Amino acid sequence: MKHTPFVPRFLRAALAAVPLLAASSGCATSAPAANPSPEAPSAAAPKAAQAPLTAADARQFTSRVNDELKQLWTRQATAEWIKATYITDDTERNAASVNEEVMAYLNRAITEAARFKDVQGLDADSARMLHLLRVTSPLPAPNSPDKRAELAAIAAKLEGLYGKGKYCGPEGKGACKDLGELSDIMAKSRDYNTLLDAWMGWHSISPPMRPLYERMVELSNEGAREIGFQDTGALWRSGYDMPPEAFEKEAQRLWGQVKPLYDDLHCYVRARLAKQYGEDKVPAGKPIPAHLLGNMWAQEWNNISNLVEPYQGQPSLDVSAEIQSQKYDAVRMVKLGEGFFTSLGLKALPETFWQRSQFTKPRDREVVCHASAWDITYDNDLRVKMCIKPTEEDLVTIHHELGHDYYYTYYYKLPVLYQQGANDGFHEAIGDAITLSITPSYLKQVGLLKKVPEGDKGLINLQMKDAMEKVAFLPFGLLVDQWRWEVLSGRVKPADYNASWWALREKYQGVRAPVERSEKDFDAGAKYHVPANVPYTRYFLARILQFQFHRALCQAAGHKGPLHECSIYGNKDAGKRLQAMLELGASKPWPDALEALTGERQMDASAILEYFTPLRAWLQTQNKGQKCGW
């Protein structure tokens, strides 16, 4: 899979699947033939002793690394897949051992790659691949075999702790609930104390992660330094075709563009929550208690859309109710998603996708339910791994994951170092851009909505529901890595892990912990991507990029009129434009890929602002006289 934890490449790509180390695919090629020994990755072997390296050597080196990585990453993705779909000590150890091999290979290959630094006349592909190789793993390992083994074991353990996490009631005596069940409570309950219990319950799974996490930070920083980065966070920030400091500024620039919209939404939602739970619990001018927003991390608020619905008496927007009453099963939901992509002229998913994916939660074993998309062999072995429930939220996630798989399927013929998104935000934005075309008319067409909302009131209700998902997410998308960047740089020490987490949640999201927390807690660890070591800024970028992609696709489709009314469903011109970008993978700097789709070379939040223009004006009227901010 590609988007997951420590990530290998796949991870980087889409979190779709794997995180730890590296990549996603493998190959249908022969087999162990070129299986590189960790001690002797073939790298740039050929030249006799002191002969100066040439551009031709670099080409040969990168070509060999691509071949070898494809094999190694395939073995790694295979082990990760087995582990994630069957968590046991054995599968954890097995995955850790392959990860260790990949780490060892990368250590050697990156060291070898450094020898090409001063070679004159490198062609653009060689130079790009040498760079991509260096930043490919979000979990760089130290060269010492013992430390490498320790890091691989810790990484596997952390993800396992998250995957197996359960809460068994205040005294540990109740029926045990997993994240799926606790998330249902967060989504549906409107009782302050029931919500608090579910919130505290899930946050009780992460304190045991803390010592492991601390050690992971130390070890991976050592690995990052050995390959020339200040720390692992600097390595993460180096994957955006600009210096890491410039990327930090870029993220803040984009946040500056959207913050005023978020602030307007926050103010309105807080006022409505105060009506629901009382001003004593949700005071004006203060951060909102984090357990009241319908989601374990308060990252998306759409589960409480009904609490904040602007106008009563409008046609229902409740797609979950239709999915359930029509008894959709998981496969039918995924087919619906595939149908959107094929309507654009994109190809159908391979038969193996349907045979090999995990669509629902198995009853008889522990699995990682966090959704992901994979190309196990880097050769079109596409899959999703989900625990699908019949809800609109999961229908949206299906489109998200299929976006990853469609990226994979259009770039799998490239060398593996190019088998990733133009940047990781692109990978996360594809499926989401498609969901922006899931308009009420589309839903009516496929029978999931009885009536299309009309007029200003219908529009504002609809935009509010969208904003509760898309706009609400923005600060969370940014802050997770603001925290990790600080932790990884050593500016935040273990003694302040929890306090600094909440300082950022308050600063960016305007939410606060519902009960007093201490350094015994490790609340960041209750969010998948932290124990799984998946970088998170990608999701922030994706929330912005998806609107930019949507606007361009709508233009390609010849849409006239407001952006929020556009659906590209069935439009082959839009499909062609999308495909042109997908096929590039990471072969070109992301501004080139962005240009191929949008004609623009800068990430830009003006499309999301344009999309929500009607709601913004409405919110500002509603908020008049309110004490906004926190």
Catalytic residue among 401, 469, 486, 506: 401
Say whether residue 426 binds ligand X8Z (CB under 6 A). Answer: no
Q: In the chain, helix, strand, coil percent, each to 5?
A: 60, 5, 40
Say whether residue 358 binds ligand X8Z (CB under 6 A). Answer: no
The C-alpha atoms of residue 154 and residue 93 are separated, in whole angstroms, by 10
CA torsion through residues 568, 571, 576, 579, sign: positive
Q: How far is the CB of 444 from ligand X8Z (least distance, A)?
A: 26
Instruction: For tokens 């909505």, name the residue.
Output: 449
Q: Is 291 annotated as a binding residue?
A: no
Say whether residue 463 binds ligand X8Z (CB under 6 A). Answer: no
Say whether residue 539 binds ligand X8Z (CB under 6 A). Answer: yes
Name which of Zn ion, ligand X8Z, none residue 459 binds, using a CB cut-off of 5 to 8 Å depending on partner kind. Answer: none
Say whether residue 483 binds ligand X8Z (CB under 6 A). Answer: no
Please state the φ and ψ torsions of residue 289, each to the nearest 5 degrees. -55, 130
Q: What is the DSSP string of 50-92?
A: TPPP-HHHHHHHHHHHHHHHHHHHHHHHHHHHHHHTS--HHHH
Name which of Zn ion, ligand X8Z, none residue 317 binds, using a CB cut-off of 5 to 8 Å depending on partner kind. Answer: none
Please state the φ and ψ torsions of residue 588, each to the nearest 5 degrees. -130, 155
Question: Considering CB under 5 A, how many residues would be counted as binding Zn ion?
Answer: 3
Tell me the one-letter amino acid at 112: E
Q: Which is nearer to ligand X8Z, 136 or 299 (CB)?
A: 299
Q: Is 400 annotated as a binding residue?
A: yes
Q: How far is CA 64 from CA 60, 104, 131, 294, in A?
A: 6, 16, 15, 49
Task: Give the residue ranges of DSSP H helices in 412-454.
Answer: 424-435, 440-445
Say whether residue 293 binds ligand X8Z (CB under 6 A). Answer: no
Nearest Cα to Cα of residue 530 among 216, 292, 247: 216
Q: What is the DSSP string of 165-223?
A: -EE--TTS-S--EEHHHHHHHHHH---HHHHHHHHHHHHTSSGGGHHHHHHHHHHHHHH
Q: Is 404 annotated as a binding residue?
A: yes
Name which of Zn ion, ligand X8Z, none residue 397 binds, using a CB cut-off of 5 to 8 Å depending on partner kind. Answer: ligand X8Z
Rounded to 10 degrees, the C-alpha dihedral 400/405/411/413 comes to 170
Check if 401 is active-site. Answer: yes
Q: Which is nearer to ligand X8Z, 16 or 349 (CB)?
A: 16
The C-alpha atoms of residue 396 and residue 408 are separated, in whole angstroms, by 19
**Using DSSP, how many helices (H) and how many strands (E) does the chain show?**
24, 6
Residues numbered 401-460 forming contacts with Zn ion, rule: CB under 5 A: 428
Residue span binding ligand X8Z (CB under 6 A) among the ranges 14-22, 119-127, 355-363, 555-563: 14-22
Nearest Cα to Cα of residue 167 among 131, 124, 196: 196
Q: Is 240 annotated as a binding residue?
A: yes
Say whether residue 371 binds ligand X8Z (CB under 6 A). Answer: yes
Q: Which is nearer to Zn ion, 116 or 549 (CB)?
A: 549
Say whether residue 3 binds ligand X8Z (CB under 6 A). Answer: yes
Please state the φ and ψ torsions of residue 98, each to the nearest 5 degrees. -65, -40
Q: How far is the CB of 531 from ligand X8Z (least distance, A)?
A: 13
What x-and-dash track marks residues 250-289 binding ligand X8Z by CB under 6 A?
A: ----------------------------------------
Say whether residue 372 binds ligand X8Z (CB under 6 A). Answer: yes
Q: How far is the CB of 73 from ligand X8Z (least distance, A)?
A: 18
Cross-strand partners of 178: 166
Q: How far is the CB of 537 from ligand X8Z (least distance, A)?
A: 11
Q: How far is the CB of 474 from ligand X8Z (least distance, A)?
A: 11
Catalytic residue among 529, 550, 559, 564: 529
Q: Is 427 annotated as a binding residue?
A: no
Name which of ligand X8Z, Zn ion, none residue 497 binds, using a CB cut-off of 5 to 8 Å depending on partner kind. Answer: none
Name which of ligand X8Z, Zn ion, none residue 396 binds, using a CB cut-off of 5 to 8 Å depending on partner kind. Answer: none
Residue span binding ligand X8Z (CB under 6 A) among the ranges 12-20, 21-29, 387-395, 413-421: 12-20
> Where on the chain is the footprint of ligand X8Z (CB under 6 A)?
3, 14-16, 299, 371-372, 397, 400, 539
Task: Name the site residues for Zn ion (rule: CB under 5 A).
Answer: 14-15, 428
User: Which residues form the catalytic set?
Assistant: 401, 529
